[in-house]
Structure 1
Amino acid sequence: MILALVAGAVVGIALGALGGGGCVLAVPALIYLLGFSPVTATTASLVVVALTSVTALYAHAREGRVRWRTGALFAAAGLVPAALGGLVAARLPDAVLTGAFAVIAVVVAIGMLRAATGEPEPDQAAADTVERAPGKGAAVRAGAGVGALTGVLGVGGGFLVVPALIRTLGLGTRIAVGTGLLVVAVNAIAALATRSGAAQGLEWGLIAPFAAAAVLGAWDGKRLADRIPAETLRRILAWVLIAVAVAMATDATGVV
């Protein structure tokens, strides 16, 4: 119970502060700390992702940091891939899921380290109030990819959505984080809809406190983001993810 509360709080804080990346920690926490199998861990993670992203989305929306039309376009593109990914995940061997997750963790960590060492936006306040006309092709491709990833691995995909919103649509970082949470929430719910059978066998006595702590942590993460530079938070989470990836890759190799 204590492990579930602590792990859930860390996931929620990371998601609320950065809009993505934190939920990548949910699956390894569920596997190695709470004893879930890879398949059930990805399903349980989707529950946590859906609840925490909706909570964090509400907090960002209250401050006008969500572009609903842009987020809806991304989310719509990912609905079918997320649902299909949920069906595929139930048929993959544990070793494959574990190995794939290790790769994703490294990718997320590298992206965070690059973002943490990149040059800051010239005028963040101005960037947060400007939105270019969406490039529909780029938005659809990115949305579909994120949806598939969410469905198979149970991650939110915010670590892909936020950079895509910044680079392809010209959103400022804070607006991209808020808008990305909308995409994450919709994809997680869509993926869960195809896993109703798997959800019935979950240990809700552990998932409930994990999810509750994550929801509360998402609010704290939002406040934390206003006090601590995002670059510092990204570096910390990136190195944690690298350590997790090494552990999971070792486990996957042992299983094989």
Structure 2
Amino acid sequence: MSGLVLALLAGGLTGLALGALGGGGCILAVPALIYLLGFTPAAATTAGLVVVTLTSVTALVTHACAGSVRWRAGALFAAAGLVPAAVGGAVSGRLPSPLLMGAFALVAAVAAARMLRPSASVRSDELPVRSGQVVKAGAGLGAVTGLLGVGGGFLAVPALVNVVGLRMRAAVGTSLLVITVNSLAALAARTGSAADVDWSAVAPFAAAAVLGAWDGKRLTAGLSADTLRRTFGCVLLGVAAIMLVDAVL
């Protein structure tokens, strides 16, 4: 199968997951870039941030039009992650590839566990924003985004529900604002890095992801959110196992 077809398929899956779940899809982008398109881990995390940013903005627009973005809470959460995201982005390119892949595999495993766990993240009302806890959660998410080139929506959505107090629908939409801000900060920190990125391969991947993100929210209307989470959780678990073995060996 040609590199272009692989890039389009992987990008489309990434966008669908991000638009439908507010996270989880972009963690598939980095391993897809490494194993399907031959990127180095450093180049894949940089390219992954580009894909994350473009697809997050696209999905954010659709959720904002539906009124499911809580701008004040999202802005506070995102602001807390700006510096950690920038620091993580600057450090990432200097880490050994096995260490970077091992860390990514562990994060993917955490994401899979969260997706496979029965969802208890449902609220009938929204709680007052607890600023101190929001700042801590936002800073941790920013560091993960910068270091590993993932949006962190699989961590942001539960945090926005359990720490910020949003209902699930609002948490998914608001997470896209957080992802966009963190990804831009991490990308800015990587400007001028030595990672050699093949932008001719990234472009079709990102374009397919953007188109998939437009359809991702509509996908949730026809399928159960739990079914979607379990499906992507199983895929992520397999990806985590492959990357962990690769990093160790």
TM-score where L is the length of structure 1: 0.93
Q: 1:35 aligns with which of 35, 38, 45?
A: 38
- 2:133 corresponds in structure 1 to 138
Residue-pair matches, total: 246
List gaps (5 residues or longer) in structure 2.
Answer: none
- 1:91 corresponds in structure 2 to 94
List gaps (5 residues or longer) in structure 1.
Answer: none
- 2:148 corresponds in structure 1 to 153
Q: How high is the sequence identity, in percent, across the aligned residues?
A: 62
- 2:119 corresponds in structure 1 to 118
2:160 is the counterpart of 1:165:
yes
Task: Map Cα deviations across residues 174-214 of structure 1 (whole Å, 9 max, x no partner).
Answer: 10000000000000000000111138832111100000000
Moved more, 193-202 or 230-239: 193-202
SS in 1 for 2:127: coil
2:74 is the counterpart of 1:71:
yes
For residues 67 and 46 of structure 2, the distance between their equivalents in structure 1, rounded to whole angstroms, comes to 31
SS in 2 for 1:61: helix
For residues 72 and 119 of structure 2, the distance between their equivalents in structure 1, rounded to whole angstroms, comes to 28
- 1:214 corresponds in structure 2 to 209
Q: 1:56 aligns with which of 43, 55, 59?
A: 59
Moved more, 69-78 or 197-206: 197-206
- 1:195 corresponds in structure 2 to 190
For residues 162 and 37 of structure 1, the distance between their equivalents in structure 2, rounded to whole angstroms, comes to 29
Query: 5 Å matches for 1:104-115?
Result: 104-114=107-117
Asked whether the 8 Å contact 1:43–1:198 carries over to 2, the reply is: no
Residues 59, 199 of structure 1: alpha-carbon distance in 2 compared, 3 angstrom cutoff: farther
Residues 156, 191 of structure 1: alpha-carbon distance in 2 compared, 3 angstrom cutoff: same
For residues 14 and 92 of structure 1, the distance between their equivalents in structure 2, rounded to whole angstroms, comes to 28
TM-score where L is the length of structure 2: 0.96
For residues 176 and 105 of structure 2, the distance between their equivalents in structure 1, rounded to whole angstroms, comes to 23
Q: 1:47 aligns with which of 21, 45, 50?
A: 50
SS in 1 for 2:151: coil
SS in 1 for 2:145: helix
Asked whether the 8 Å contact 1:15–1:21 carries over to 2, the reply is: yes
- 2:174 corresponds in structure 1 to 179
SS in 1 for 2:192: helix
For residues 140 and 93 of structure 1, the distance between their equivalents in structure 2, rounded to whole angstroms, comes to 30
Task: Map Cα deviations across residues 61-93 of structure 1 (whole Å, 9 max, x no partner).
Answer: 001000000000000000000000001101100
Superposed CA RMSD in Å reads: 1.3
For residues 135 and 120 of structure 1, the distance between their equivalents in structure 2, rounded to whole angstroms, comes to 17
Moved more, 15-24 or 164-173: 164-173
For residues 159 and 237 of structure 1, the distance between their equivalents in structure 2, rounded to whole angstroms, comes to 11
Asked whether the 8 Å contact 2:11–2:206 carries over to 1, the reply is: yes
Asked whether the 8 Å contact 1:151–1:188 carries over to 2, the reply is: yes
For residues 120 and 182 of structure 2, the distance between their equivalents in structure 1, rounded to whole angstroms, comes to 31
Asked whether the 8 Å contact 1:65–1:175 carries over to 2, the reply is: yes
Which runs of structure 1 show a deviation greater than 3 angstroms over 4 or more consecutive aligned residues? Answer: 118-121, 198-201
SS in 2 for 1:196: coil
Task: Map Cα deviations across residues 24-73 of structure 1 (whole Å, 9 max, x no partner).
Answer: 10000000000000000000000000000000000000010000000000
Asked whether the 8 Å contact 2:86–2:189 carries over to 1, the reply is: yes
- 2:85 corresponds in structure 1 to 82
Asked whether the 8 Å contact 2:93–2:195 carries over to 1, the reply is: no
- 2:12 corresponds in structure 1 to 9
- 1:23 corresponds in structure 2 to 26
